[in-house]
Amino acid sequence: MWRTCGALRISALALARLRGARGCSGDGGVSYTQGQIPEPRTREYFYYVDHQGQLFLDDSKMKNFITCFKDLQFLVTFFSRLRPNRSGRYEASFPFLSLCGRERNFLRCEDRPVVFTHLLATGRGPPRLSYCGGGEALAVPFEPARLLPLAANGRLYHPAPERAGGVGLVRSALAFELSACFEYGPGAPALPSHVRWQGRRLALTMELAPLLRATPQS
């Protein structure tokens, strides 16, 4: 555990030093300094995940593919330890927290903390959805009947690990591919009613909708 935490800490420290240690003001006027030490032997870092599932230091001015984190071990460690933030610190602005030893990694997100990016074919087994750049190490079984298309924002959602809110966003490129499997009822309603997958016609359950409204976002 400590070797992994060390890698996580070194990556964050290196990027923070490139920017220089400076105070930052996030949404709602929340102030912090990357790598701050609120108590002995405890450091705090602040991150942001966008709608493509890319992870950044929250205070990065340029957020794109070049500046996002790409190291697989880092991403797997970070997202596998993600939990709702009940630390008593920054809960409103950073609703999720990834702990690594005495290191606190706070996370806010554009939409959801889990963003599904790829559909993985696993030979004869059922397909899996991979999220946030973690490949097979960060993946859940694909459940097509539980896909949730949301008319309010035109986005698609899928069940995610419960510890990370239970609902994940499907990246737009993948959502576009999956939309070809949807069927709409008579009169061309705004939302599909069924999905065709591997020769079966499945009714969309829409059961994630209440959970989507109930879980924290930033």
Q: What is the pLDDT of residues 87-102, one digit of tens each?
A: 999 999 999 999 999 9
CATH classification code of 14-22+31-109: 3.10.540
Which phi and psi angles does 81 have, rounded to 5°?
A: -105, 10
pLDDT of 5 > 50? The answer is yes
CB 182 within 8 A of CB 195: yes
pLDDT digits (tens, 9 = 90+) for 49-90: 999 999 999 999 999 999 999 999 999 999 999 999 999 999
Enumerate the CATH 3.10.540 domain ranges in the chain, comma separated.
Answer: 14-22+31-109
pLDDT digits (tens, 9 = 90+) for 137-161: 999 999 999 999 998 899 999 999 9
Read off the pTM.
0.87
CB 15 within 8 A of CB 63: no
Give the Cα separation of 11 and 174 in Å (integer). Answer: 29
Give the Cα separation of 153 and 141 in Å (integer). Answer: 25
pLDDT digits (tens, 9 = 90+) for 179-202: 999 999 887 678 899 999 999 999
